[in-house]
Structure 1
Amino acid sequence: MISRISGLFAAIAFATAIAVSPVHAQEAKPADAASAVVEGAAPAAEAAAPVAAAAPKSTDNPYGLKAMIDHGDAVSKGVLALLLIMSMGSWYILITKLWDTSKLAKEAKEIRATFFKKASLADGIKGLGEGSAFRFIAANAVEASEHHEGALTENIDRNTWVTMNIDRSVYDVQSRVQTGLGFLATVGSTSPFIGLFGTVWGILQALTAIGVAGQASIDKVAGPVGEALIMTAIGLGVAVPAVLGYNWLVNRNKQVMGEVKAFAGDLHGVLMGNRQVTKR
């Protein structure tokens, strides 16, 4: 009897051991798998770290001016080249005319203080620099005063003849001073529309390419359209300095030509007050 009870307990213990052992095996397997995943993820994270660190180094803008030049067609590049030429011409005129008007204003100040204090007009003319606008006016005025002869000019009195020649000389100087203002006016009025044409053309090409590709995602639309809009900005950047420079030069020319006309009026009075002009 005791041997049977002992056998029963032994059978129960054996069955319990068999039932519990798979549970421990199943618990051990997920733990081993988790540790393997952690160990495998560590090298992957270490390998991805340099890539993540290297990513911010890329600073090229795929939608900027450089991209437009690289990917633009002949029309876009032609419009850009035209705007560049117009801008360079505007700045050249602004700088050269600033130099010319400054030089003319300086000469007017010196002449107002010294010219009419000379012993004769010939001495005053010799004291003026070669190529000076004031020397040009004075020389023509003296020439007209000294040479008032001829079958046709005899019908014109001396006063009118000298006045005509002085006014003609002043007009020539004024035309020389105003050279380039027409170009500035043209640039200021047309460059925004040239830039707008470049924008419209760029958008047309972008929409055509999107339609052919059949992709209307934001990256396919924003890039080409943004590149095209740069043309309008460039056109405005060319027009604004040209317009401001035009208005500024017009005001400077008025001031300088006022000095020139005042000199011409004083010279006319001196010539009319002296019947004979000292020979040069």
Structure 2
Amino acid sequence: MNTELMDLILMASPVVQAVMVILALMSIAAWAVALAKSYQVTQATKQAQQFEQVFWQTPELTGLFNQMTQQAAQGGLPQSGMAAIFEAGFREFVRLKKQGVSNSSDLIAGAQRAMKITFSKNADHLENRLSLLATVGSSAPYIGLFGTVWGVMHAFQSLGNVQNATLAAVAPGISEALIATAIGLFAAIPAVIAYNRLSTRVERLLSEYENFAEGFLTILQRQAHALEQNNPINGQSNQG
């Protein structure tokens, strides 16, 4: 069966063979992206769970922030995901406090903006190349169908040179053409499944990031209100 399949591919017209090569490359690219993104999302989910556990078990966030800063200064890997969101928000919060800002609204707004920027960067990183899976899933069947239509046209044109047109004469050409559709479906189906699964996992992870950011902002808000109460003069001057 495999030998017959290879014979059909080798005997196909150059256009159909080119379509098959394109579909094969698209399938390889889709599988590579699917495996790489699956690993990336799995690692990001584990890191988020580990950091969230450490975060809620830490009584003093300043110590956690200083520890992360020291690790970065010692050449550690840059923070990503939930840890990066925390670091960006707390860094901006501390920077504003050092500048003398004690108004709670200003402190929270600054930290929120910093976290939003970091969240967007991480979301772009997680969603990067997912569009390739969607492209392969949506276009591969049509590319395969084009190869099939072209192959069928080529087969029927070849019949014009045959005096006795029989099923045995046209069947090989149609079989060659149908392989293109089969390869297109082979490339599209895994790509669609991978895209839907990875998109769901990324959305779930981003939702966890958002929930963490809201909880972290609640803590910062309590600290900001305490700072504002301890500095009523500065708070009133900032409001004015």
TM-score exceeds 0.5? yes
Give the structure with higher Rg (CA). 1
Any conservation in 2 of the 1:115–1:124 contact (CA below 8 Å)?
Answer: no
How far apart, CA to CA, are the structure 2 residues paired with 1:214 and 1:160?
83
The CA RMSD over aligned residues, in Å, is 2.7
Structure-1 separation of matches of 2:190 and 2:67: 40
Distance 1:73 1:171 in 2: 48
Letter in 2 for 1:146: V
Query: Aligned to 2:85, which of 137, 141, 146?
Result: 137
2:51 corresponds to: 111
Paired residues for 1:66-85 under 5 Å: 66-85=6-25
**In structure 1, C-alpha distance between the alignment counterparts of 2:148 and 2:5, rounded to whole Å:** 13
2:94 to 123, 137, 146: 146
Q: Aligned partners of 1:147, 1:176: CA distance in 2, in Å?
A: 27
Q: Aligned pair 1:182/2:149, yes or no? A: no
8 Å CA contact 1:125, 1:138 repeated in 2 = no
Q: d(CA) in 1 for partners of 2:66 and 2:107?
A: 23
Question: Which residue pairs with 1:267 in the alignment?
Answer: 216
Aligned equivalent of 2:41: 101
CA contact (8 A) 1:116 1:124 kept: no
Moved more, 170-179 or 190-199: 170-179
Counterpart residue number, 1:47: none
Where do 1:186-225 residues align within 5 Å? 186-225=135-174
CA distance in 2, matches of 1:145, 1:69: 64
Aligned partner of 2:64 in structure 1 is 121
How far the C-alpha of 1:179 sits from its partner, in A, is 1.4
Aligned equivalents of 2:88, 2:15: Cα separation in 1: 52
Name the structure, 1 or 2, with higher relative contact order (CA <8 Å, separation 6+): 2
TM-score w.r.t. the length of structure 2 is: 0.78
Give CA-to-partner distance per residue, 1:193-242, whole Å, 9 cap, x none: 11110001111111111212334122211111111111111111111111
Aligned length: 212
Matched position secondary structure for 1:157: helix
User: In 2, Cα distance between the equivalents of 1:165 and 1:60?
Assistant: 58
**Residues of 1 paired with 2:2 and 2:110: CA distance?**
71
- Alpha-carbon offset, residue 271 of structure 1: 3.2
State the Cα deviation string for residues 52-92 of structure 1 (Å, max 9, x = none). Answer: xxxxxxx885xx43123322233112111111111111111
- The answer to whether the Cα contact below 8 Å between 2:12 and 2:176 also exists between their aligned partners in 1 is no
Which of 114, 119, 132 is the matching residue for 1:170? Answer: 119
In 2, the alpha carbon distance for the partners of 1:122 and 1:116 equals 13
User: Partner of 1:234 in structure 2?
Assistant: 183
TM-score, normalised with respect to structure 1: 0.67
Maintained 8 Å contact 2:127/2:202: yes
CA distance in 2 between counterparts of 1:210 and 1:227 reads 15
Percent identity (aligned): 28
